């Protein structure tokens, strides 16, 4: 064993009390300690902190940790102090006197680790301080915040490239738990880490069971799921809007489940109070927007639910990753329906962003839809998105209850022609009425009962038609025109299907079943 490796192991055992390094930790520590740069992708709970804490102790000077999570700095510093590591933080919660004292410690070389928020780090005062001090390394935590495509984007992160320019000899490590290939490249480029080593750990979270169900009455399905599989367990339920967060929390409370709400529109003190109750008490369900969760370290979250579709697989992975950090069985459960597809597509269409941005958001959404509609193993799909090959897992809904797929070319042709026959000017409800031969007021008013397509789909029920339509939209054969009352429109991809030149394989709609109980280990 190299001398460096030996000293690192010694610190791990004597200070942190762990017998051995996990996964790639040892190699990452070596890289940093010997002055190299690194980009580290490790799932939540993988042990990222030690990757910069130990090299900071091995090298001269203070390790500077850039983190957006101000609320957690105190805890981190306290935990380090407990094991005898000299750590402090600089952030906006401190008064002038407090920060001056810490600045002096930095200058005098009395600290091993310093946590700083990015906006603070970038101030001339802080930059001058660092230039006048001995720096062991820079650690950039939650590095995906540098990505403009991600939902945690923080503009100050982009300016962190200044670290490389001002401190070319100080090694840097960027860490994140979530990044597809594109985000990875973006982090490396923006933080000028192209020359550094990349460490990509396995992203698999084998104890998480993935389930994606067809959405009917979402809230009711959620309640059923909690009552049958997770009575008394702590969980997080994600919703898209603040209003829905509050409604769902109320609904759960009315049905005997202790639920709290969390979203950015709530007063700061209510938010923090709810967050600390969730962390401290047992068995609370937190209903939240994606504002909740980054940096929340609660090991025994037994389930994460989604009542709305996440915008990307990265978001889904990050949010579901908050379940089961203790390694015990946990569930990632999502209810997903036609409305989700329509809504997400609309949000992209209506955003003010430029075309390039919209295109990338569209691709990310398509990958997410692919995960929802897959008839193969969810985990295989998820991991392959992060560039990892794997075999069917046996611990997701599609492995446990393989869905039935069928040749849906004929019903899809019927649907496409019905859309075409009503001049691509009507929404889902009306098109389905025409298909199923329902003579509604609107059908009569437009004389659509005289169309050749009227009633050609009466052999298929409404739910099944919805499932077909949802998949056809997910596949990109049909678009929803938000500028024209959500009218359904055929895309160029629809043509070969209509002509019979392309077959369409779909997933059979199944009635939402009561979820089966998952056995607990131990």
Residues within the interface to ligand ADP (CB under 6 A): 18, 21-22, 25, 42, 44-50
Nearer to Zn ion, 160 or 380 (CB): 380
Residue 116 pairs in a beta bridge with 66, 90
Considering only residues 240 through 259, tell me which ones interact with Zn ion, judged by CB under 5 A: none
State the minimum distance, in angstroms, from the CB of residue 208 to Zn ion: 11
Q: What is the largest CA-CA distance in the chain?
A: 87
State the minimum distance, in angstroms, from the CB of residue 503 to Zn ion: 25
Nearer to Zn ion, 209 or 448 (CB): 209
Contact indicator for 102, 88 with CB cutoff of 8 Å: yes
| Residue 199 site contact among Zn ion, ligand ADP, none (CB < 5 to 8 Å, cut-off depends on kind) | none
Nearer to ligand ADP, 15 or 158 (CB): 15
Concatenated DSSP letters of 75-103 = HHHHHHHHTT--EEEE-TTS-HHHHHHHH
State the minimum distance, in angstroms, from the CB of residue 316 to Zn ion: 15
Residue from 263, 322, 379, 430 touching Zn ion (CB under 5 A): that is 379
Residue number, nearest CB to ligand ADP:
47
Nearer to ligand ADP, 89 or 336 (CB): 89
Contact indicator for 424, 477 with CB cutoff of 8 Å: no
Collect all residues with Cβ–Cβ distance below 8 Å to 519 and sequence separation of at least 6: 329
CA count, 13 A, side-chain hemisphere, 382: 27
Q: Does 377 bind Zn ion (CB under 5 A)?
A: yes
Contact indicator for 127, 116 with CB cutoff of 8 Å: no
Q: Does 438 bind Zn ion (CB under 5 A)?
A: no
State the minimum distance, in angstroms, from the CB of residue 74 to Zn ion: 40
Nearer to ligand ADP, 44 or 374 (CB): 44
Instruction: Tell me how far apart the alpha carbons of residues 514 and 518 are, in angstroms, rounded to a whole number.
Output: 12
Nearer to Zn ion, 381 or 414 (CB): 381
Collect all residues with Cβ–Cβ distance below 8 Å to 51 and sequence separation of at least 6: 25, 28, 29, 32, 38, 40, 42, 139, 173, 175
Backbone angles phi, psi at 137, to 5 degrees: -170, 165
State the minimum distance, in angstroms, from the CB of residue 129 to ligand ADP: 26
| Residue 10 site contact among ligand ADP, Zn ion, none (CB < 5 to 8 Å, cut-off depends on kind) | none
State the minimum distance, in angstroms, from the CB of residue 26 to ligand ADP: 9
| Residue 294 site contact among Zn ion, ligand ADP, none (CB < 5 to 8 Å, cut-off depends on kind) | none
| Residue 360 site contact among Zn ion, ligand ADP, none (CB < 5 to 8 Å, cut-off depends on kind) | none
Contact indicator for 210, 396 with CB cutoff of 8 Å: yes
Nearer to ligand ADP, 178 or 518 (CB): 178
Backbone angles phi, psi at 496, to 5 degrees: -60, -30
State the minimum distance, in angstroms, from the CB of residue 485 to ligand ADP: 46
One character per residue 311-350, x = contact with Zn ion (rule: CB under 5 A): ----------------------------------------
Q: Does 15 bind Zn ion (CB under 5 A)?
A: no
Considering only residues 384 through 423, tell me which ones interact with Zn ion, judged by CB under 5 A: 393, 396, 399
Instruction: Tell me how far apart the alpha carbons of residues 233 and 257 are, in angstroms, rounded to a whole number.
Output: 10
Nearer to ligand ADP, 218 or 321 (CB): 321
Angle value at C-alpha 213, between 208 and 214, nearest 5 degrees: 165
CB atoms under 10 Å from CB of 327, counted, come to 12
| Residue 381 site contact among Zn ion, ligand ADP, none (CB < 5 to 8 Å, cut-off depends on kind) | none
State the minimum distance, in angstroms, from the CB of residue 40 to ligand ADP: 9
Concatenated DSSP letters of 402-451 = PPPEEE-HHHHHHHHHHHHHTTT---HHHHHHHHHT---HHHHHTTGGGS
DSSP 3-state assignment of 390? coil
Which residues contact Zn ion (rule: CB under 5 A)? 377, 379, 393, 396, 399
């Amino acid at each position: 064993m190299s001398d460096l490796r030996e000293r690192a192991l010694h610190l791990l055992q004597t200070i942190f009390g762990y017998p051995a390094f996990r996964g790639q930790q040892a190699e990452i520590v070596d890289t940093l300690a010997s002055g190299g740069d690194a980009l580290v992708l490790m799932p939540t709970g993988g042990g990222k902190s030690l990757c910069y804490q130990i090299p900071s102790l091995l090298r001269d000077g203070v390790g500077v940790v850039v983190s957006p999570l101000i609320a957690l700095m105190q805890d981190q510093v306290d935990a380090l102090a407990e094991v005898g590591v000299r750590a402090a933080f600089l952030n906006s919660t401190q008064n002038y006197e407090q920060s001056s004292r810490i600045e002096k410690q930095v200058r005098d070389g009395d600290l091993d680790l310093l946590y700083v928020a990015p906006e603070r780090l970038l101030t001339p005062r802080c930059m001058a301080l660092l230039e006048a001090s001995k720096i062991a390394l820079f650690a950039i935590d939650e590095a995906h915040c540098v990505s403009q495509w991600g939902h945690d984007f923080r503009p100050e992160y982009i300016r962190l490239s200044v670290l490389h320019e001002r401190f070319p000899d100080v090694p840097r490590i960027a860490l994140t738990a979530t990044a597809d290939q594109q985000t990875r490249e973006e982090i490396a480029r923006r933080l000028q880490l192209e020359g550094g080593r990349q460490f990509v750990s396995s992203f698999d979270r084998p104890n998480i069971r993935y389930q994606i169900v067809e959405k009917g009455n979402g809230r009711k399905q959620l309640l059923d799921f909690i009552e049958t599989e997770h009575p008394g367990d702590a969980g997080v339920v994600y919703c898209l809007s603040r209003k829905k967060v509050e409604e769902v929390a109320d609904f759960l409370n009315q049905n005997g489940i202790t639920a709290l709400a969390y979203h950015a529109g709530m007063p700061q003190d209510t938010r923090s109070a709810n967050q600390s109750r969730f962390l401290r008490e047992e068995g609370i369900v937190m209903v939240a927007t994606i504002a909740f969760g980054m940096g929340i370290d609660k090991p025994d979250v037994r389930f994460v639910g989604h009542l709305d579709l996440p915008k990307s697989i990265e978001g889904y992975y990050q949010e579901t990753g908050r379940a089961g950090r203790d390694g015990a069985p946990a569930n990632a459960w999502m209810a997903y329906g036609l409305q989700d597809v329509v809504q997400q597509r609309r949000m992209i269409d209506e955003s003010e962003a430029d075309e390039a941005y919209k295109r990338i958001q569209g691709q990310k959404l398509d990958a997410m839809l692919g995960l929802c509609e897959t008839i193969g193993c969810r985990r295989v799909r998820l991991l392959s998105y992060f560039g990892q090959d794997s075999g069917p897992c046996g611990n997701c809904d599609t492995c446990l209850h393989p869905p039935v797929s069928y040749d849906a070319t004929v019903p899809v042709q019927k649907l496409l022609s019905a859309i075409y026959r009503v001049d691509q000017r009507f929404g889902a409800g009306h098109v389905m009425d025409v298909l199923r031969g329902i003579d509604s007021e609107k059908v009569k008013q437009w004389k659509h009962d005289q169309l050749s397509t009227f009633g050609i789909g009466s052999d298929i029920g409404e739910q099944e038609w919805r499932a077909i339509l949802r998949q056809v939209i997910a596949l990109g054969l049909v678009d929803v025109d938000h500028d024209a009352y959500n009218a359904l429109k055929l895309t160029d991809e629809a043509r070969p299907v209509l002509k019979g030149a392309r077959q369409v394989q779909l997933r059979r709609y199944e009635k939402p079943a009561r979820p089966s109980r998952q056995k607990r280990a131990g």
